Amino acid sequence: MKNLWIKRVWGLLKTFLFPVLVYVIFLLITFMMDRSGYATSGAFDRIIRNSVLSTIIAYAIALPLSGARWDFAPGIIIILSGIIGSNLAIDLDGGPMTLLLLTMGIAVVLSLLEGVLYLAIRVPTIIVSLGVVMVYEALSGIVYGGTGTQLYMHPQLTVFARSPWIYVVLLITMTLFYILLGRTKFGYDMRSLSASPRLAVNMGVKEKKNIIITYLIVGALLGVAAVINASTVLVSPANNLSSTSLMFSSMGPVLVGLYLARFSNIPLGIFAGALGMNALSYGMVVMGIDSSIQTVNLGVFIVAFMGYTSNQEKIREFSKKIRIGAKNKSIRRQSQ
């Protein structure tokens, strides 16, 4: 029992070593550049707050991705459900819970429509989701006259984006996501389908039911993300696939987090990935790096990280061969 707890603690330390290292490295760099903005409590709070939204979106991306289904719709579902849910809550003179329930309900409907369409026409999700994105983006420019939403002008409705409620939302979401993946039949069935779809179906796993439940859960997660997003920024209608940027901004935490998850679990791994990527992004802001260069740097970092983690065994073997070669060369020199 003691060894099990030691193993778990060690796994947690390894999981969160990545964001800690990123923060410390950029802290040292900004100190050497005589820029103190990265060391303030405001910077630390901003990194964590931004990580909450990134983490919840990353959960919604990782869930279908674990079943080999690429989905480009999360961004527009966040935008469209945020616009409709916020305006309805304002019109109904509702409170924060009304806003949350309305937005989650709308996001679930939008997500389920995509899932039903996928099951009906059975073409790759990457194609279905792109078509859904185009339709939903057009709708975002139609509803409420294309005015979007300015929820931050109604502070009584933005409590879920402020401390301490934003952290309560994260904790609840993370706990439910962990239970869902690791303690329910749905989670076991999803892992079976991702490992061997045909074998899983032959063993009695209902694939269509699993897919529908997946889209339902994704919708609920995106509804929560929509509330936090609408509470912090001006949400404008999207067009020309611009909504996909919101999805791609959370791909870093997904890819990094799925690797870190091997040390603990997927919810914690993705959260650690989100913390690290947001620490990296904010560090570049403090350093005064241009936004376009930031995007390039983030892309290079993700490619390098994934390249290293995907080829660790080859890199170890190559390093071992170099060490053996150097050792043999040293022995030959000594013998001469």
Evaluate whether 135 touches 80 at the Cβ level (below 8 Å): no
Q: Is the pTM of this model over 0.85?
A: yes
Quote the CA–CA distance of 49 and 261 in Å, as a whole number.
21
Omega cis (within 30) before 64: no
The helix/strand count (H/E) of the chain reads as 14, 0
CA dist 268 → 110, 143, 305 (Å): 27, 37, 18
**pLDDT at residue 39 above 80?**
no
* Strand ranges for 225-294 from DSSP E: none
pLDDT grade for 301, boundaries at 50, 70 and 90: confident
pLDDT grade for 46, boundaries at 50, 70 and 90: confident
CA dist 288 → 37, 50, 186, 284, 323 (Å): 11, 19, 46, 6, 41
pLDDT in tens, 269-288: 999 999 999 999 888 888 88
CA dist 100 → 105, 116, 157, 218 (Å): 8, 24, 9, 15
Evaluate whether 305 touches 280 at the Cβ level (below 8 Å): no
Q: Looking at residue 45, what is its pLDDT?
A: 82
pLDDT in tens, 101-138: 999 999 999 999 999 999 998 888 889 999 999 999 99
Of residues 159 and 35, more confidently modeled: 159
Evaluate whether 275 touches 19 at the Cβ level (below 8 Å): yes
| Helix, strand or coil, per DSSP, at residue 237 | coil
**pLDDT at residue 290 above 70?**
yes
Evaluate whether 294 touches 41 at the Cβ level (below 8 Å): no
pLDDT in tens, 211-269: 999 999 999 999 999 999 999 988 999 988 889 888 888 888 998 998 898 888 899 99
